[in-house]
Chain A
């Protein structure tokens, strides 16, 4: 009697473990298959590599290149870069507070006939660095500050791109 209930418990235990394993593997396969649909944005390099169909609407993400921002009333143009490739973006509308040169941003829109990315929405990507202003100032003063130079937002973005850029190209 006790033995019987023990094996039943063991059976349930194996069933639960196997079920979870199967579910995990299945989910992993589905997520890998839909990799390209889950990524939120593409880098200028990936766009240059032709990962996005030319007339398709998509999001491009990267750093606002230093000295590239030209504001003309509500019209803004700037260059978004991943330190490898870059892309000219034009946008009309309100920019988020965090938008500035060296900041990680994500723009949604499409490439027009002149090869310029016309954005209908620009979002600021916040990085995972949190510090008081005095600490940021001290870092800048001591020269250990390298915002927009592959550290901070840039690192976050290039790191975020790693899994997709190392994955085998899905679309030929």
Chain B
């Protein structure tokens, strides 16, 4: 595991998977979007409005997965001082915030025609809004300190504390009665069961796959640019040091 603490080693693997995840993202979007938005059948109750669900559930899936990655990376950073884990968490958080925002907005757009309201303060919606604020808090804390190491540590602690919200979001629809419908996937004795018909489940899976691959591809790009930025910072610093040693004033 500590082998991956080395950015060069880590990026060798990341760069190797990049063409695969990027290619899969393109293929899944090209195949999935027309099915999800055009050719799949309308729902018997919701009609065409069901198409919002393909974006909504995919975004919600990513917001949960990415928070898991941010929290896991933060834990590895706090415990083992694993710099790449921290970099992955930092690079993922803005995407997590965007997908949480997307899940909230698409949920509201669906809620108005179906429930009759954009927003209610039920357990699922409220805990999801809290997740959105956790992401924003994490991003803000990262940059809130002069000493970036301190900021990273404070943000990582916030990410870990916030991880108690993940099971709350997931089980909110089972623990309490909510306006939000229960999960469409049920884990039971004989495996995973879904209350969604196959004709609607297929585009949903395609979109969830496309979103996930998109996240992984963008994550590699963000890691690359973060590492390059760090290299430039280091080069500047050593240039300043050289200038100082030679006796020339560093502007």
Contacts and interface: CB of A to CB of B under 8 A. Distances in A.
Interface of A: 9, 12-13, 16, 19-20, 23-24, 27, 31, 35, 38-41, 61, 94-99, 106, 121-137, 156-157, 159-161, 163-164
Contacts of B43: 130-133
Given A40-B123, A160-B182, A132 B177 contact: no
B44 A156 contact: no
Contact of A124 (B116, B160, B199): B116
**Size bin of chain B's contact surface:** 35 or more
Interface in B188-205: 195-197, 199-200
Interface string B155-176: 0000011011000100001111
Contact of A156 (B78, B117, B181): B181
B176 A132 contact: no
B181 A125 contact: yes
B79 interface: yes
Q: Which 10 A-B pairs have the closest CB atoms?
A: A96-B116, A132-B41, A160-B177, A131-B197, A136-B44, A40-B122, A130-B196, A133-B44, A128-B181, A12-B79
12 contacts: A20-B164, A38-B123, A39-B177, A98-B45, A98-B46, A125-B115, A126-B114, A128-B196, A130-B53, A130-B184, A132-B42, A132-B197
B188 to A, nearest CB: 13
Given A31-B168, A132-B44, A16 B182 contact: no
A142 to B, nearest CB: 15
B44 A121 contact: no
A128 B79 contact: no
A61 B177 contact: yes
A27 B113 contact: no
B80 A9 contact: yes
Given A124-B115, A159-B182, A16 B177 contact: no
Given A40-B120, A135-B44, A126 B115 contact: yes
Contacts of A130: 43, 46, 50, 53, 184, 195-197, 200
Interface string B102-124: 00000000000111110010110
Nearest to A129: B195
